[in-house]
């Protein structure tokens, strides 16, 4: 895969938590624009308006469709610290992007993409009759925005995600480690953007998100306001500050006491306060060199006795270079999770030894264009999580190579 984010690339989308973590989904929005604007061709007609001098129809819509075939190797398909199993894999996928050109006040962006990887070696999940045979994802994204002459710009974003794979459930503040599950996720995000002179803009909105998981995970709603203050100081360069507050009531998951034991006749509910500060800069236009650095913090509060209270903070960055034929992208993320009331075990000697976790992710992509349509690529993804609780510790390496065909 692609949620994303961190700040998602194709390798970033290969992990469900990379998608769920942002919902930080707005990182995916940036990535989608990067994909769609690489190349385009008019697809709908007759199109308007018409150039009065040359009598040429100006295309209103552009599209990009990419087919992808790949293969590779993964050394820890279960994301396990005690049962790492390696396997080769083969995969295929597609991306389709449709963009309405800014000829009037209406802005449309549409995307659909998916990928499936099939493991070529049996991976034993430890559950009778339930081997892990691969992973898959499908995502759709749509955005409409009206660009008012006054500077006010209302808009609506909608997104659907399906994923079937192994991912680290501890990132959802769950008592589980890595699990295999299926998720259906639906998001709606209306917002209003206000643009002033000299590149200043402010955006405020509200997000509604529904997450449906298969057992052993429980579904939940996640809703709350979001505000962005930004300064676009140059082309493709900006400072952005984002604040987001979210409430997450679960469907049936019980709240936990201070020993982590579920309490009967209760429903778990979390609140989260997220703050991000990002710097995006384009160092050169030809060849194109761009970078992004992001500082982030999350404060999660368990609305019961606080067993799942934690503070998370970290830094992430990407660097992308695009030449006429060759290109590369690399990224890294580091973060620390500090639990406020969760002991590493109920044993007397572990009282007041609180759980903490560090997670690291690095990824790299190298590609070369072969003519107008074909691209060969190689990707590498490293994921590591260290914790003073063995259940939440693992490392994984994934290497992928393949061919993309764009038309």
* pLDDT (0 to 100) of residue 53: 54
Cα 318 from Cα 321, distance rounded (Å): 10
Q: Are 94 and 66 in contact (CB under 8 A)?
A: yes
* pLDDT (0 to 100) of residue 174: 75
* pLDDT (0 to 100) of residue 272: 97
Q: Specify the range with the lowest mean pLDDT, choosing from 127-136, 183-192, 280-289, 370-379.
A: 127-136
CA dihedral angle for residue 239, residue 245, residue 251, residue 256, rounded to 10 degrees = 110
Cα dihedral across residues 4, 10, 12, 14: positive or negative: positive
- Whole-number percent of the chain with pLDDT over 90: 69
* pLDDT (0 to 100) of residue 29: 41
Cα 396 from Cα 314, distance rounded (Å): 20
* Closest C-alpha to 396, from 122, 85, 119: 85
Residue 117: exposure state from Cβ atoms within 10 A (0-12, 13-18, ≥19): buried
- pTM for the model: 0.83
Inform me whether the pLDDT recorded for 396 exceeds 80.
yes
* pLDDT (0 to 100) of residue 237: 96
State the CATH architecture for 12-406: Beta Barrel (2.40)
Q: Helix, strand, or coil here: 14?
A: helix
| 293 or 35, which is more confident | 293
* pLDDT (0 to 100) of residue 14: 40
Cα dihedral across residues 186, 192, 198, 200: positive or negative: negative
Cα 43 from Cα 36, distance rounded (Å): 14
HSE (side-chain half, CA atoms, 13 Å) at 89? 28
DSSP category for residue 324: S
| 348 or 15, which is more confident | 348
Q: Specify the range with the lowest mean pLDDT, choosing from 30-34, 53-57, 264-268, 283-287.
A: 30-34
* pLDDT (0 to 100) of residue 213: 95
| 40 or 161, which is more confident | 161
Averaged pLDDT of the chain:
86
Alpha helices in 22-93 (DSSP H): 26-36
CB count in 10 Å sphere of residue 220: 22
* Closest C-alpha to 165, from 137, 144, 188: 137
* pLDDT (0 to 100) of residue 380: 98
CA dihedral angle for residue 101, residue 104, residue 108, residue 109, rounded to 10 degrees = 30
Q: Helix, strand, or coil here: 111?
A: strand
Structure confidence by residue, pLDDT tens digits, 15-45: 444 444 443 433 434 333 343 333 333 333 3
Confidence of residue 348 (pLDDT cuts 50, 70, 90): confident
* Closest C-alpha to 369, from 318, 319, 330, 322: 322
* pLDDT (0 to 100) of residue 198: 86
| 191 or 58, which is more confident | 191
Mean pLDDT value across residues 387-399: 93
Q: Are 216 and 179 in contact (CB under 8 A)?
A: yes
- Whole-number percent of the chain with pLDDT over 70: 85
Cα 76 from Cα 48, distance rounded (Å): 53
Q: Beta strands of 43-86 (E only): which ranges?
A: 61-74
Q: Are 284 and 237 in contact (CB under 8 A)?
A: no
Beta bridge partners of 84: none
* pLDDT (0 to 100) of residue 128: 57
Structure confidence by residue, pLDDT tens digits, 122-157: 898 877 567 899 999 999 999 999 998 888 999 999
* Closest C-alpha to 322, from 291, 290, 288: 288
* pLDDT (0 to 100) of residue 58: 65
Cα dihedral across residues 193, 196, 198, 204: positive or negative: negative
* pLDDT (0 to 100) of residue 145: 95
| Prior bond of 287 cis (ω within 30°) | yes
| Max CA distance (Å), the chain | 85
* pLDDT (0 to 100) of residue 19: 42
Inform me whether the pLDDT recorded for 102 exceeds 90.
no
Cα 4 from Cα 271, distance rounded (Å): 21
For the chain, the domains span: 12-406
CA dihedral angle for residue 344, residue 21, residue 250, residue 141, rounded to 10 degrees = -170
Cα 9 from Cα 34, distance rounded (Å): 10
* Closest C-alpha to 356, from 383, 393, 317, 316: 393
* pLDDT (0 to 100) of residue 59: 76
Confidence of residue 56 (pLDDT cuts 50, 70, 90): low
Cα 377 from Cα 71, distance rounded (Å): 11
Structure confidence by residue, pLDDT tens digits, 296-309: 999 999 999 999 99
Cα distances (Å, whole numbers) of residue 397 to 78, 84, 86, 380: 12, 11, 9, 7
Confidence of residue 109 (pLDDT cuts 50, 70, 90): very high
Cα 144 from Cα 125, distance rounded (Å): 42
Name the phi and psi angles at 28, rounded to 5: -65, -35
Q: Specify the range with the lowest mean pLDDT, choosing from 114-123, 268-277, 316-325, 339-348.
A: 339-348
């Amino acid at each position: 895969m692609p949620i994303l984010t961190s700040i998602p690339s194709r390798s970033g989308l290969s992990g469900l938590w990379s998608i769920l973590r942002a919902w930080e989904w707005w990182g995916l929005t940036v990535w989608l624009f990067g994909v769609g604007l690489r190349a385009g061709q008019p697809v709908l007609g007759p199109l308007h308006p018409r150039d009065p001098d040359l009598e040429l129809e100006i295309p209103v819509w552009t599209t990009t469709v990419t087919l992808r075939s790949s293969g590779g190797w993964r050394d820890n398909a279960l994301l396990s610290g005690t049962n790492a199993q390696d396997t080769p894999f083969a995969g295929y996928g597609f991306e389709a992007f449709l963009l309405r050109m800014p000829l009037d006040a209406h802005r449309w962006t549409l995307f659909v993409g998916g990928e499936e990887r099939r493991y070529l070696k049996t991976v034993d999940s430890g559950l009778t009759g339930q081997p892990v045979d691969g992973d898959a994802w499908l995502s759709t994204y749509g955005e409409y925005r009206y660009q008012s002459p006054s500077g006010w710009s209302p808009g609506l974003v909608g997104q659907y995600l399906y994923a079937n794979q192994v991912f680290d459930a501890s990132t959802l503040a769950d008592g589980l480690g890595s699990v295999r599950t299926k998720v259906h996720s639906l998001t709606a995000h209306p917002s209003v953007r206000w643009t002033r002179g000299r590149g200043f803009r402010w955006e405020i909105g509200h997000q509604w998100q529904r997450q449906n998981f298969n057992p052993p995970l429980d579904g939940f709603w996640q809703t709350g306001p979001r505000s962005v203050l930004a300064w676009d100081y140059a082309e493709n360069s900006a400072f952005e500050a984002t604040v987001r507050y979210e409430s997450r009531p679960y469907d049936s998951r019980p709240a936990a006491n201070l020993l982590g034991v579920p309490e009967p006749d209760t429903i778990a509910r979390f609140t989260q306060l997220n703050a991000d500060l990002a710097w995006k800069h384009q160092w050169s236009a030809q060849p194109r060199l761009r970078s992004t650095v992001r500082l982030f913090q999350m404060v999660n509060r368990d609305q019961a006795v606080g067993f799942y209270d934690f503070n998370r903070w970290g830094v992430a960055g990407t660097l992308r270079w695009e030449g006429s034929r060759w290109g590369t992208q690399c990224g890294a993320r580091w973060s620390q999770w500090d639990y406020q009331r969760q002991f590493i075990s109920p044993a007397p000697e572990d009282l007041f030894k609180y759980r903490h976790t560090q997670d690291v992710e690095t990824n790299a992509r190298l590609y070369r264009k072969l003519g107008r349509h074909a691209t060969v690529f190689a990707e590498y993804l490293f994921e590591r999580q260290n914790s003073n609780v063995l259940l939440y510790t693992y490392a994984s390496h994934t290497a992928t190579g393949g061919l993309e065909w764009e038309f």
